[in-house]
Structure 1
C-alpha cells in the first residue's frame, strides 16, 4: 500500500476523532529506504498526556507520535533547548492527513522555531565545550589500541559536529541527522568532515581529523587545557 494511503487508513482505524494528523519522515522527503517506516503525528485534544507507539499495520512499520493541544508545545520547547528540532521538523515537513482547522497554526509555530535557529552558546558554554573537545582529541591522538581509537573517534565526531554547528548558530543532529545537519549548514564542510573520519576508519590515518578539529577550534582560541576550571568556588 502506498504510504499516504496506509497513513489515511491508520488514522481512520485508530484516531477517527482527532483534530489533526500529519505524515512526516523519509517517505515525505523522498528519502525512503526498504527499512523506512511511517512517522505519523496526531493531535487529539481529548488526550491527557502525549505518547509514542510503534506498530505494524497496513503493510508498514508505523511510528505514531500522539499529542494534545498543549503537550506538543513542550516537545517543541525541549527540542529547541537541546538544539535537535525533531518534532518541529516533523510538523513543518508533514503532509496533512486530517485537519479541523488547527494544523496551519501549529505548522507556523514549527516553521518560526526552525527559522529562528537554536539559542546562541554563551562564552562559558563555548569554553566548556572547547575543553572537552580538546580532551577527547588528545585521547584520540594518544590512542594506540585500535578498538579504543574507534570509539574515541565516534565521540570525537559527535563533539566536533556539535561544536562546529552550534558555534555557527545551526541545529545539530543525531545518528544520520548529524550528516544532514552538516550538509544543511555547508555541503563543502560536510564533505571534508566525512572524508576525514572515513579516512581514519579505512586506513587508520588520523591527520585529517586533527586538522579538521583544530580548524574548528582555532577561531575560539584553539585547544584548551591549562587554566580551565569548572565548579571551583572562589
Structure 2
C-alpha cells in the first residue's frame, strides 16, 4: 500500500462511508488509530449502524489503501453481540463502541456508547464457586506439566497455556474483563499495571533463560487464596448421591 500517499484514517473512514453506507444511521471509527497507538500494520475498525440490514455481519477488505475491519449492525442487533461479549467476558464490541469516535449519527450513537460504557464499568459476572474449582484444577494440571517437563519445545507451549489460564484466573476472580492475544496484557494492565509487569517479567525470564522458578511461584501465588493447587478429590460431572 502507498503508505506515504494514502488518506489519513478519519478521512479514509468518511470516504468509505460515502462510498458504501451513504444512508446509514450512524458510524464509529475505533481501534488503535483512535487510541493513538497505530502501527504500520494497523487497520481501520469501522462499526456501521444501518437500519436497512436484516442481520449483522463482519467483513474484512482493503479500500482507500487501508485494511478495513467492518462491523455492520442494525439498531437492535448489536445488543445480542453486547450480551455474548459479556457472557464470554471479552467485551470486544462494547469496548470498540465506548472508545470509538463518532463519525455519523451523534444522536443515535450517543446512547449506544453510554450503554457500552455502563457494560464496561459493571464488569463481567462473578465466577461461581464451581467454576473456580474447575479452573483451579486446569491451572494445577498445566502447572504440573510445566514443572515436570524436560522437553524445551513442549515447555514453550505449556508455558503459553499456563500464561493464558493464569491471566484468566487472576482477572475473572477479580471481576475483570479478559482478553486474547495482545489484549491479555492490556487487560492485566487495566486491572493492575505493576502486577501485569510482574506477570510478564516472570514468563519473559523463562523464555529467555529456561528457568521456571518465577513462573511456578507466580502461579502458586495466584492459586493460594483459593486453596492452592487442586488435584486430589476433584470431580466434574459425577452424579451426587
Same fold (TM over 0.5): yes
Instruction: Tell me the secondary structure at the aligned position of residue 229 of structure 1.
Output: coil
Selected match of 2:27 from 21, 27, 43: 21
Instruction: Tell me the secondary structure at the aligned position of residue 156 of structure 1.
Output: helix
Deviations 1:101-145 (A, max 9, x none): 210110011000000000000110111101100011001111111
Find out whether 1:78 has 2:84 as its counterpart: yes
Give the match for residue 42 of structure 1.
Answer: 48
Give the match for residue 228 of structure 1.
Answer: 234
Distance 2:217 2:170 in 1: 13
Distance 2:111 2:167 in 1: 32
Distance 2:70 2:196 in 1: 31
Distance 2:120 2:36 in 1: 20
Shift of 1:100: 6.1
Give the match for residue 8 of structure 1.
Answer: 14
Selected match of 1:165 from 168, 171, 174: 171
Deviations 1:58-116 (A, max 9, x none): 12111110001121101100001100000000000110111062101100110000000
Say if 1:20 and 1:97, in contact at 8 Å, map to a contact too. yes
Say if 1:214 and 1:223, in contact at 8 Å, map to a contact too. yes
Give the match for residue 132 of structure 1.
Answer: 138
Give the match for residue 158 of structure 2.
Answer: 152
Uncovered stretches (5+) of structure 2, i.e. residues with no partner: 1-6
Normalised to the residue count of structure 2, the TM-score between the two structures is: 0.96
Distance 1:169 1:211 in 2: 23
Count of residues paired in the alignment: 234
Q: Kindly report structure 1 stretches of 4+ aligned residues shifted beyond 6 Å.
A: none
Q: Once superposed, what is the RMSD of the aligned Cα atoms?
A: 0.7
Say if 1:19 and 1:100, in contact at 8 Å, map to a contact too. no
Selected match of 2:203 from 172, 194, 197: 197
